């Protein structure tokens, strides 16, 4: 079993760190809001550290699950003095490929290995321990880290060197945004034509249009309920990363840009904490 540090106990990180503990790993945690770390300690019975440096001291593997690029680099800076050569840092934050490479370069100066490993599956996947994890890093480093990540990941895939995991997460978010926009348009069309959403799902949910989003969000979208899963604020952050990368590669992403524009409008209306299926609200009343 490994000695682990987990930094960042949001809705994803809190249960992920718990799965590490349940699988017999030694775990020390840190969170920017210390009460969250104390709550984790009360539930799982292990140490909450006061600083990132304290959290990582003596660890074999360090996991990050924070907000965005600047948070990744700030936490790496704060924990530097607790790191030692040979350790592995696994970053589960959805950040940019450039951030992943910058983090890897910074840690390499200390002899510390790095894997960018963004996750997909939402809060429910984190709680169930069934996340999909997209990884970038050296193959031997990945092979040593994979058994630890199996504590909370059902599908763990190395796609290439550092940055490849974050690039794959961009693809993931591009596909989700496009699927939700298509689902929203299809549902609005069905509603205008007088079709019942539940009967519609029964009719088309087993065919070529089927998707996770259709199975899990079509009926709640029809009811205009948007308190499930991933907030559109975070989707906008993720799409921003993808769109910036696309600009750098001169790749057109018209559907992702359209979805992003709808999400931006919803943010401006104060709906940023609604889940991503709220994109249908941007189409309501559009004729």
- Provide the token pair at 67: 């907000």
User: Is 109 tagged catalytic?
Assistant: no
Farthest-apart Cα atoms in the chain, separation: 64
Which residues on neighbouring strands pair with residue 114, listed in sequence order? 89
Q: Which residues, including other chains, have CB under 8 Å from residue 117's CB and lie 6 or more apart?
A: 90, 91, 92, 133, 134, 135, 136, 137, 149, 165
C-beta separation of 107 from 116 below 8 A: no
DSSP assignment of 55-103, as one string? HHTT-SEEEE--SSHHHHHHHHHHHGGG--TT-EEEE-S---HHHHHHH
Which two structure tokens, joined as six digits, stand for 158? 């190395």
Helix (H) or strand (E) holding 201: helix 197-204
Q: Nearest 5°: CA angle at 94, between 170 and 276?
A: 70
Q: What distance in Å separates the CA atoms of residue 52 and residue 5, rounded to the nearest whole number?
A: 9
SS3 28: strand
- Cβ of 229: how many Cβ atoms within 10 Å? 18
Catalytic residue among 109, 169, 237, 281: 169
Q: Which residues are catalytic?
A: 169
């Amino acid at each position: 079993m490994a000695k682990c540090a987990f930094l960042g106990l949001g809705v994803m990180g809190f249960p992920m760190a718990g799965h590490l503990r349940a699988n017999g790993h030694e775990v020390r945690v840190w969170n920017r809001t210390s009460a969250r770390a104390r709550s984790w300690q009360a539930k799982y019975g292990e140490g909450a550290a006061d600083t990132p440096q304290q959290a990582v001291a003596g660890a074999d593997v360090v996991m990050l699950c924070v907000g965005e690029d600047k948070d990744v680099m700030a936490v790496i800076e704060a924990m530097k003095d607790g790191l030692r050569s040979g350790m592995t840092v696994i970053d589960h934050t959805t950040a940019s490929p450039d951030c992943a490479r910058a983090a890897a370069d910074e840690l390499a100066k200390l002899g510390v290995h790095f894997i960018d490993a963004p996750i997909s599956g939402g809060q429910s996947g984190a709680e169930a321990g069934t996340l999909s994890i997209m990884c970038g890093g050296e193959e031997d480093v990945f092979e040593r880290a994979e058994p630890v990540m199996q504590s909370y990941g059902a599908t763990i895939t190395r796609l290439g060197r550092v940055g490849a995991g974050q690039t794959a997460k961009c693809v993931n978010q591009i596909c989700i945004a496009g699927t939700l926009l298509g689902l929203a348009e299809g549902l609005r069309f069905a509603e205008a034509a007088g079709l019942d959403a539940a009967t519609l799902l029964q009719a088309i949910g087993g065919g070529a249009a089927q998707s996770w989003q259709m199975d899990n969000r079509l009926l709640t979208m029809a009811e205009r309920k948007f308190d499930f899963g991933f907030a559109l604020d975070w989707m906008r952050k993720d799409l921003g990363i993808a769109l910036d990368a696309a600009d750098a590669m001169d790749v057109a992403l018209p559907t992702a840009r359209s979805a992003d524009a709808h999400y931006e409008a919803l943010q401006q209306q104060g709906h940023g904490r609604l889940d991503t299926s709220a994109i249908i609200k941007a189409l309501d009343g559009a004729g």
